[in-house]
């Protein structure tokens, strides 16, 4: 089974900061990777699919890159509504494994 790791597990940032989260798969998943945002008490919200494709309606400050085993998620200029937990998820092997999440909070 594919294992997903994320780093960091948490980070503190300020409004306007550039935030980068990395996700690593234990084996090649080509570009079969989603990125989600989740706020407390809410269902996850899909932001990025196919590693780099922005879901419709998602602000352009969010972006994703990478392929194979190493992926990056970036928020170019952190906004107040972006404080949340972010998860990567692979869908290469139909086990849809999630990474452990990265919590982004106020510095």
Partner 1 sequence: VQLVESGGGLVQPGRSLRLSCTASGLAFGDYAMSWFRQAPGKGLEWISFIRSNNYGGTTGYAASVEGRFTISRDDSKSIAYLQMNSLKTEDTAMYYCGDSSGFYWGQGTMVTVSS
- Residue 61: how many CB atoms within 10 A of its CB? 14
Token code pair at residue 67: 């392929």
CB of 49 to partner 1, least distance (A): 7
**Interatomic CA distance for residues 33 and 50, integer angstroms:** 5
| Contact residue for partner 1 among 5, 100, 105, 106 (CB under 8 A) | 100
Cα–Cα dist 14/106, whole Å: 6
Helix (H, G, I), strand (E, B) or coil at 80: helix
In this chain, which stretch among 16-24, 59-67, 68-76, 93-101 interacts with partner 1, using CB under 8 A? 93-101
31-60 mask for partner 1 (x: CB under 8 A)? ---x-x-x---xxxxx--x-----x-----
The closest alpha carbon to 15, from 96, 82, 60, 65, belongs to 82
Does 101 bind partner 1 (CB under 8 A)? Our answer is yes
Q: Residue 89 interacts with partner 1 (CB under 8 A)?
A: yes
Residues that bind partner 1 (CB under 8 A): 1, 34, 36, 38, 42-46, 49, 55, 87, 89, 91, 94-101
């Amino acid at each position: 089974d594919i294992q997903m790791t994320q780093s960091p597990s948490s980070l503190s940032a300020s409004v306007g900061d550039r935030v980068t989260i990395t996700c690593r798969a234990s084996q090649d998943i080509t570009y079969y990777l989603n990125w989600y945002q989740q706020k407390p008490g809410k269902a996850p919200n899909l932001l990025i699919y196919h590693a780099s494709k922005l879901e419709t309606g998602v602000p352009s400050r969010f972006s994703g890159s990478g392929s194979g085993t190493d992926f990056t998620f970036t928020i170019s200029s952190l906004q107040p509504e972006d404080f949340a937990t972010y998860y990567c998820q692979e869908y290469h092997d139909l086990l849809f494994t999630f990474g452990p999440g990265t919590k982004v909070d106020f510095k």
